[in-house]
Amino acid sequence: MSGIRARLRWLKPDEGGRRSLPTGPRYVAPARMQAVADRWPSEAWSVVVTFDPTASPKYEMEATVRLLAAEDAPPDVLMPGTWFELYEGRRRVAIGTVL
């Protein structure tokens, strides 16, 4: 699966998010996907986020996303309009929407 555009909202520290934003160019994290949310955390997919190298990090931004193991993924996990959440351990750090 090639990269897909998504809108990300990074949670601020007072929301339980990261103390600082990732600086890129890539960030990889396990994700809870809308299509299989009821199976979380036993079914999690690692998402690779690629940032626009010309943009500075922001709490709300667009980026390119893809699944690390796309060949094994259900076909509907990154469909337009679906959401996903990025995690660092048990802590949710970002919410994304596929564009």
CATH number for 36: 2.40.30.10
Give the domain extent around 94: 4-98
Residue 71's pLDDT is what?
Answer: 79
Overall number of domains in the chain: 1
Distance CA 42, CA 20 (A): 28
Tokens 């986020």 found at: 49
- What confidence score (pLDDT) does residue 72 get? 78
What are the pLDDT tens digits along the chain (99 aa)? 468 999 999 999 999 999 999 987 999 999 999 999 999 988 889 999 999 888 888 999 999 999 998 777 887 889 999 999 999 999 999 999 999
Model confidence, pTM: 0.91
